[in-house]
Structure 1
Amino acid sequence: MCAVQFPAIGLIWWIGEQLGDDYAYAGAYGAFAVFALACLLVVAPLVLPVLGLLHAVVHVLPAELLAHRAARRTRGPVWAWHLALTAVLGLIWAALALLLWDWPFTTTAPLFAALGVVPVFGLEWLRRRPRGPWAVWLPSLFASVGLFLLVFLGGVLATVTGILEEYEPPVLSAGQLTGTWRGEEGAVLSLGAGGRAELTDVPAESGSADQNAEPAFAVCDGTGTWLLDDKGGHERAGVVVRLDGECGQETYWRIGGTESEPELFVPFGDPDAPDVRILTRD
């Protein structure tokens, strides 16, 4: 029963990541996103039993053992103690994740606590069913598929109706873009107020027709010009940088991030697996 909920939880995570991705192009239900999700579903029958067993060993079964001991010493049904102790163990695991990996406790604590709800009630239901492997696996299969489809349809409806909003890049003026932007490996892009640009180790389009060419971009130094394109010429507003010399081609830096922490980025190379280069305001 522990593995029943993992496909739905994975789908919730997937939708959240896709809708909140600054650099996504097709949202949570784009063709590539759906294809990648379908690939994950193919390997799910091999992975889910392992994940379910691990979850049972470290979370559900220890809570059940403690629940039986607590029920013998105090009043109350075993399932209630099991549910409460599962939630407590979830909080302990969330605290451990905070200490080891700096995962946000406010997010992981309710998630880890909720992970025990379905197994606890599922165990109580299965105890009243006939014994046998099919009596366990078939209901678990139907429950997992049904829960997955419910989350998928709910995610689609919530997105279409606007309950879940896709990421929207900040709207910046030319004046807000003026200044120094820095990236990896010492890249510095200075956008002047007069439309002049200075580049130091800044990635630029190489001009190669082969999207799989290595490297996917040229690294340029020098001067050039820049302008804000917010008139719909591209899929989102951004900065067009043209160099005066022969290094690289015209490069379109898309606007991302947030209004308080804006970013400029370019996905170089293969559109399905781009090398995303990001500049942040100095």
Structure 2
Amino acid sequence: MGWENRADDDPEGDRPGDVVRSLAELNAAAAVCAAQFPTIGLIWWAGTQQGDDYGGSYGFLYVLALAVVVLVTPLVMPFVGFAHAVAHIVPAGHLARVTARHVRGPTWAWHLVYAGALAVVWAAVTALLWSWPFLITATVLAALGVLPVLGLGHLRRRARVTGRPQGFWAVWLPSLFASVTLFLLVFVGGLLATVVGLVGYQAPALSAGQLTGLWRGADGAALRLDPGGKAELTKLPTESESESESGDWFADPPYTVCEGTGNWSTGRIGDRDAVVVRLDSGCGRQTYWKIGGTEGAPELFAQFGAPDAAEVFVLVRG
């Protein structure tokens, strides 16, 4: 018999096959839940990369970390899917079946309703215990329940057609193929969107007037840019003479801390607009402070040392 044959007629637990049906449904729910998590992880990671990386390069360690994640994900995915199924999808399905016996409407529709309701419950729990934002958490959890509920409904229909529950590999192999396919589609789509400029970080464009004012950094560093092109420095890291002339990127530290007055102008280095600061005294050399951050919270930053391991200093509005 299928998972839900006579499910609307008999009380839970009255049939000997209930245990088998429940285990089969739990297995199927875990498989469907697991299929979406690699793609969700990719989307989350892509979202974290939308901010300013200050021109950094991840290099070999980044590639190695990504390779480890790809290799480990298939091992972790079943456990994550099982946890999601036990805490969210399976309880919602049980409530949906009980409701469908007494109220009109398809079981899958009630399953979606209860999945959304449990998302609200878990969002409230996380808000109380860990101060997670309630509305965002509830929305995300509710969205995570849609694909498993619809996928589980599809597997139930197949079980009714074949007359028996789907076996272990009958649900996990399609889950694996679906997971890989969905992951690749999102990955390739993200690459294309990045290439054409639909997504990705864009540094703010600031006029000379917007750049004027006080900018502060760590350890008391400050840079005041006056409208007339004058600059005043306080404990500000500046490109050192040794690094500029000898290429000694490995000096400790790879910069010179300077104070005094000078002048500034707008410029460009690489793909970034920048503020070029020149001192009147002999301390350090002219330094390019690149423009970063966002339109609402602009930043100036400079990099000192080897390009693949540069020390970055950031200045924000004072």
TM-score range, shorter chain: 0.7 to 0.9
Task: Report what 1:237 is aligned to.
Answer: 273
Note the aligned Cα RMSD (angstroms).
Answer: 3.4
Query: What is the identity, as a one-letter code, of the residue corresponding to 1:171?
Result: A
Task: Write the deviation string for residues 64-101 of structure 1: whole angstroms up to 9, x where unpaired.
Answer: 23323333443333322222111222234345555555
Distance 1:259 1:11 in 2: 27
Size of the aligned set, in residue pairs, is 277
Q: Aligned letter for 2:51?
A: D
Residue of 248, 255, 258 corresponding to 2:291: 255
Q: Distance in 2 between matches of 1:198 and 1:279?
A: 14
Indicate the structure (1 or 2) with the bigger Cα radius of gyration: 2
Residues 76-87 of structure 1 aligned to structure 2 (within 5 Å) = 76-87=105-116
Q: Residues 188-267 of structure 1: matches in 2 within 5 Å?
A: 188-205=222-239, 208=243, 209=247, 215=253, 217-218=254-255, 220-230=257-267, 232-244=268-280, 248-267=284-303
TM normalised by structure 2 equals: 0.72
Does 2:208 match 1:174? Answer: yes
Query: Matches of 1:168 and 1:52 in 2, distance apart?
Result: 36
How far the C-alpha of 1:116 sits from its partner, in A, is 0.8
Counterpart residue number, 1:75: 104
Is 1:151–2:186 an aligned residue pair? Answer: yes
Aligned to 2:4: none
Partner of 1:52: 81
Q: Distance in 1 between matches of 2:98 and 2:306?
A: 58
Q: TM-score, normalised by structure 1?
A: 0.80
> In 2, distance between residues paired with 1:212 and 1:122?
56
> Which has the bigger relative contact order, CA under 8 A and spacing at least 6?
2
Residue 23 (structure 1) aligned to one of 43, 46, 53: 53
Unaligned stretches of 5+ in structure 2?
A: 1-31, 160-164
The AA in structure 2 aligned to 1:261 is A
In the alignment, the residues of structure 1 paired with residue 251 and residue 101 of structure 2 have an alpha-carbon distance, to the nearest angstrom, of 68
Structure 1 position 139 matched with structure 2 position 174: yes
Tell me the CA shift for residue 180 of structure 1: 0.6
The CA distance in 1 between the partners of 2:103 and 2:229, in whole Å, is 76
After alignment, is 272-281 or 55-64 more displaced? 272-281
Q: Which moved more, 1:247-256 or 1:96-105?
A: 96-105
CA distance in 1, matches of 2:298, 2:251: 29
Asked if the contact 1:263/1:280 (under 8 Å) is kept, the reply is yes
Greater shift after overlay, 98-107 or 261-270?
98-107
Q: Is the 8 A contact 2:278 2:286 kept in 1?
A: yes
Quick one: which amino acid aligns to residue 158 of structure 1? Answer: A
1:165-186 deviation per Cα after TM superposition (whole angstroms, max 9, x unaligned): 4332222222321211112333
Letter in 2 for 1:147: L
Runs (5+) with no aligned partner, structure 1: none
